[in-house]
Chain A
Amino acid sequence: MRTNNNEISKGIDGLLLFLYIVLCLIGIVSIFATTYNEGENIVDGFLSFRTDYGKQSMFFLFSLFAGVVILLTDSKFFTATANLWYTAGIVLLLLVFPFHSNIKGTESIIKFGNAFQLQPIQLCIVFTNLALAKYISRIETDFTKLRSQLIAASIVVAPALLAILQKETGLALVYFSFFLVMFREGLPAIVLVIGFSFAILVVATLLMDPNVLALILTGIALLSAYFMRRQIKRHKSVLFWIIAIWAICVSIQRFAVPFIFDHVLKPYQVKRIYDTIGKDYIPKDAAALADIEKNTSQKKDAGNYNVKQSKIAIGSGGLLGKGLLKGTQTRYAFVPEQRTDFIFCTIGESFGFVGSMIFISIYVVLLFRIVTIAERQRSTFSRCYAYGVASVLFFHIAINLCMTMGLAPVIGIPLPFVSYGGLSLVTFSIMIFILLRLDKDRQMVLR
Chain B
Amino acid sequence: MPAFNQSRQNIIRLIFAATFLIIAGRLFILQVVSDKYKLLALDNAVYKKVIYPDRGIIFDRNNNAILNNTIIYDLTVTPYEVKQVDTFFLCNLLSIDTAEFRERIITAIIKNGRYRPSVFEGLLSLDLQAKLEENIWRFPGFTLIERPIRNYLYNAGAHLLGDIGEVDTAIIRRSNYFYQMGDFVGRSGLEQYYESVLMGKRGIQNLIKDNRNRLQGSWENGKYDTAASAGRNLYTYLDIELQQLAEKLMTNKVGSIVAIDPKTGGILTMVSGPSFDPNDLTGSTRQRKYANLALDVSAPLMNRATRGMYEPGSTFKPIGGLVALDMGVITANYGLACSGAYYGCAKVIRCEHSNPGHAANMRLALANSCNSYFSHIYRLTLDNNKDRSVKKGYTHWKDYMNAFGWGQRLGVDLPNELPGNIPDTTEYNKDYRGYWNSCTNVTLGIGQDKMQVTPVQLANAMCIIANKGYYYTPHFVEKIENETAKDSILNKFREKHAALTHIPDEAYEAIHAGMQDVVESGTARSARIPGISICAKTGTAEKYTILDGKRIKLPNNSMFVCFAPRENPKIAIAVAVENAGFGSTWAAPIASFLIEKYLTDSIRTDRMKEVERISNTNLMPSYLKRKQFIADSTRAYFYFNLRKDSSYIKKYLRGYTTTEKKPVKAAQPVKIKTPEETVNSRIQKPADTPSAHAIPDGKIIHIKKPSRKADIIWINDEKYLKNQES
Q: Which residues of A contact B (CB under 8 A)?
A: 144, 180, 183-186, 189, 309, 311-319, 328-329, 332-334, 348-349, 352-353, 356-357, 360, 363-364, 367-368, 371, 374-375, 380, 383, 387, 390, 394, 398, 401-402, 405, 407
Contacts and interface: CB of A to CB of B under 8 A. Distances in A.
B694 interface: no
A332 B216 contact: yes
Contacts of A390: 12, 16
Contacts of B17: 364
Given A328-B208, A371-B13, A356 B27 contact: yes
B647 interface: no
Q: Please name the 3 residue pairs, one residue from A and one from B, whose CB atoms are nearest each other, closest first.
A: A315-B37, A316-B41, A328-B45
Contacts of A186: 1, 4-5
A405 B30 contact: yes
B209 interface: yes
Contacts of A374: 9
A144 B40 CA distance: 54
Given A329-B45, A332-B216, A314 B208 contact: no
Contacts of A183: 8, 11-12
Interface in B215-261: 216
A338 B580 CA distance: 79
Contact of B9 (A184, A363, A380): A184
Nearest to A318: B31
B17, B26, B34, B216 pick with most chain A CB within 10 angstroms: B26
B40 A312 contact: yes
A319 B28 CA distance: 9
B13 A405 contact: no
A328 B32 contact: no
6 contacts: A183-B11, A314-B27, A334-B210, A334-B211, A371-B13, A374-B9
B501 to A, nearest CB: 68
A189 B16 CA distance: 16
B126 interface: no
Contacts, number: 119
A405 B12 contact: no
B36 A315 contact: yes
Contact of B31 (A309, A319, A332, A407): A319
Nearest to A335: B211
B38 interface: yes
B26 A368 contact: no
B19 interface: yes
B32 A353 contact: yes
B710 interface: no
Interface string B5-27: 11011011101110110111011
Contacts of B41: 312-313, 315-316, 328-329, 349
Given A184-B12, A315-B30, A387-B12, 13 more contacts: A180-B15, A184-B5, A185-B5, A186-B1, A316-B40, A318-B31, A318-B38, A332-B211, A375-B6, A380-B2, A383-B2, A398-B20, A402-B23
A352 B37 CA distance: 13
A328 B42 CA distance: 8
Interface string B550-572: 00000000000000000000000
Given A311-B37, A334-B211, A357 B27 contact: yes
A184 B31 CA distance: 36
A66 B37 CA distance: 42
Given A318-B38, A353-B31, A394 B23 contact: no
Interface of B: 1-2, 4-6, 8-9, 11-13, 15-17, 19-20, 22-24, 26-28, 30-32, 34, 36-38, 40-42, 44-46, 208-211, 216
A144, A334, A374 pick with most chain B CB within 10 angstroms: A334
B31 A315 contact: yes
Contact of B37 (A184, A316, A363, A402): A316
Given A328-B44, A332-B210, A332-B216, A353 B27 contact: yes
B16 A405 contact: no
Nearest to B38: A316
Contacts of B19: 394, 398
A360 B24 contact: yes
A56 B11 CA distance: 36
Nearest to B21: A364
A311 B211 contact: no
Contact of A348 (B4, B6, B31, B208): B31
A183 B36 CA distance: 42
B45 to A, nearest CB: 4
B13 A368 contact: yes
A159 B41 CA distance: 41
B4, B31, B41, B44 pick with most chain A CB within 10 angstroms: B31
Contacts of A313: 41
A333 B44 contact: no
Contacts of B40: 312, 315-316
A208 to B, nearest CB: 21
A349 B38 CA distance: 10
Nearest to A317: B31
A332, A333, A356, A407 pick with most chain B CB within 10 angstroms: A332
A200 to B, nearest CB: 14
A184, A319, A333, A387 pick with most chain B CB within 10 angstroms: A184
Contact of B24 (A309, A312, A329, A357): A357
Contacts of A319: 31-32
Nearest to A395: B19
Contacts of B22: 407
